[in-house]
Structure 1
Amino acid sequence: MDYSVTHFKIEVSEELMQVCRELLADSVCEAGYESFVDTDDGIDGYIQTQYYSEEHTLAHILDFPIETAAISFHTEEVESQNWNETYEKEVFDPIRVGSECVIYDAASPEAETLATEAPISIAIDQKMAFGNGAHETTKMIVGKLLQFDFAGKRVLDCGCGTGILSIVAKCCGAEHVTAYDIDEWSVDNTHHNAALNNVTIDEILLGDVSVLSHVDGVFDVIVANINRNILLADLPAIVETLNMGGTVILSGFYEEDVPMLLEKADELGLHEVERCVTNDWTMLVLGR
């Protein structure tokens, strides 16, 4: 899968820079951008090359709410091989979720020690996929999964990225886990990380939400750490696979997005059970 990176330059006062970064990412994700990295003068946004449109991107920043900010951008294609090499060379710091779980870089020089630090110690070789546990959304979901009794439960991981949430669910005792992602790199990375942790993910599928039409059975717990627009579009199909009395855990969006997500959830017969917010990133736990 080919990706492009758009380098967004934001000219604004230092005290407003981080707010502008977050607002800009929220705006252009509607143009198809999947992930963002902060830079010294703005952000870099990654988008599948087939979905990139300069006109579409520009349309989403014309009405930027902070009038003192000047935004410019240019886009270039990313060489998959070089991007992958960059990910492999960067070692992320261990992420600790309470005293129960530590997520660490498989390439860390401290890997042997970290592997025995907590009851659940998970090694991640991130490569090009999203989700090593460091992002607020992933960390919130991991924290929630650690609270579940997964005995006899079936779990669905929508947009599995590195496979971190699937692996946590399996380590917590889930009977069956199905995961899918539209990105081939993510599917491969989930296979790789599951093997790295001696965990079996029962199904790892390549494709969008439509792959669920070929999946047998229903799920007791569904996790989806995806951007707001994809959640709104995919939630009806996702909920069709939810068992009665099941739980849906959503993240990947800001607190301001909650009302429209709850409206969609209500239409589908779901109700809010819990909400968690970290640095404006939000997790919703919904029940049926």
Structure 2
Amino acid sequence: MSYLALDINCPEDFIEILMAELAEIGFSTFQEKEDATGLLAYAEENEEIEDSLISSLFDRYQSLGDFSFVKSYVGKENWNEDWEKNYDPIEVEDKILVRANFHPANSNFLYEIIVTPKMSFGTGHHETTYQILAFMLNMEFSGRNVLDAGCGTGILGILAAKKGAKTVAAYDIDEWAVENAKENFELNEITLNQVKIWQGDVETVKNNTKFDVVLANINRNILLEDIKFLQKFMVNGAYLLLSGFYEEDIPAILNEASKYSLQERKRSLRNRWAALCLQLN
């Protein structure tokens, strides 16, 4: 399998806006350029993103600055090799260290999560993943059943397991993300009999399963579609942690959540990206 890649040049102030716009049309993984001159965006080739959608998006920004892109296709191995060269450890609230297996361990952190940086969303670098991890730091997971919806690398489920979750169920639509998540759970010495990981979407979750905590770091549109499903899998009093959207999207998310007795308990903002902690009552 190869991935559709865009090498984008744009003003620094528009990088995050473009990430959100590109996610809307099917791109799923992003990497900011080190010199802040733009970003790299990736989508699976079978996503079938029409050239006209990409061109139309960039046409809207031409009057606002220097915007350009180069389209190509890259194999998994080539993409992953490039990412590894630029992958740095992440520190969350001075308590969580997310690192690759080729970085040294650091016992100064309360939790250390090891990930193999492959082409799946959620390595901790993005503001949305950071915010969910920060929420989780102050939550009780011991003995609880957790669902990681759209798990990416599995990083959120891994922290839940490290904090004592009884079970962790995780799914993702991307086959490689599922493979990566399984590998990362094993890297963190979390036995797979405690964890169930599979390829699929929210409709593949068994109807008779119930969770105490649901984690969903996806994107605005998918969340708006999936909230009605996710709440069915939650016990009364369960928490739903959401991210993957901007601050201005909060009203739409809360409006949809209110239809299913989900009430806001906490919110977080980081560089315009938002995260919400909701509770089912």
Compute the TM-score of the two structures, normalised by the length of structure 2.
0.90
Letter in 2 for 1:203: K
Q: Describe the shift of the 1:27–1:130 C-alpha distance in structure 2 as closer, same or farther (beyond 3 A).
A: closer
Please, which of 89, 96, 100 is the counterpart of residue 91 of structure 2?
Answer: 96
Q: Report the 3-state secondary structure (helix = DSSP H, G, I; strand = E; otherwise coil) of the residue aligned with 1:156.
A: strand
Match of 1:220 in 2: 212
Distance in 2 of aligned mates of 1:84 and 1:5: 13
Aligned pair partner of 1:255 in 247, 261, 268: 247
Name the counterpart of 2:27: 33
Matching residue within 137, 151, 154 for 2:142: 151
Deviations 1:180-204 (A, max 9, x none): 1111111111111111111135210
**Which SS does the other structure have where 2:67 is aligned?**
strand
Q: After superposition, what is the alpha-carbon deviation per residue over 1:3-56, rounded to whole angstroms, capped at 9, x for unaligned? A: 20122333xxxxxx2222222222222111112222354222211222211112
Show structure 1 runs of 5+ residues with no match: 11-16
**Distance of 1:240 and 1:86 partners within structure 2:** 41
Match of 1:14 in 2: none
Match of 1:7 in 2: 7
Contact 1:275 1:282 in 2 (8 A): yes
1:132 shift after superposition? 2.2
Compute the displacement of 1:232 (Å): 1.4
Contact 2:2 2:76 in 1 (8 A): yes
* Aligned twin of 1:208: 201
Matches of 1:192 and 1:132 in 2, distance apart? Answer: 14
1:273 aligns with 2:270: no
Aligned residues with identical type, % of pairs: 36
State yes or no: 1:245 paired with 2:237.
yes
Q: Call closer, same or farther: CA 1:37–1:121 in 2, change over 3 Å.
A: closer
1:81 corresponds in structure 2 to 77
Structure 2 residue ranges without an equivalent (≥5): none
1:107 aligns with 2:98: no
Q: Report the alpha carbon displacement of residue 87 of structure 1 after superposing the two structures with TM.
A: 3.0
Q: Which amino acid aligns with 2:28?
A: E
Corresponding residue to 1:184 among 158, 166, 175 = 175
| Equivalent pair of 1:7/1:43 in contact (CA under 8 Å) | yes
Matched residue count: 275
Q: Cα gap change, 1:120/1:70 in structure 2, threshold over 3 Å: closer, same or farther?
A: closer
TM-score (norm 1): 0.88
Contact kept, 8 Å, 2:29 with 2:119, in 1: the verdict is no
Name the CA distance, whole Å, in 2 between partners of 1:32 and 1:101: 31
Work out the CA distance in 2 between the residues paired with 1:131 and 1:121. Answer: 15
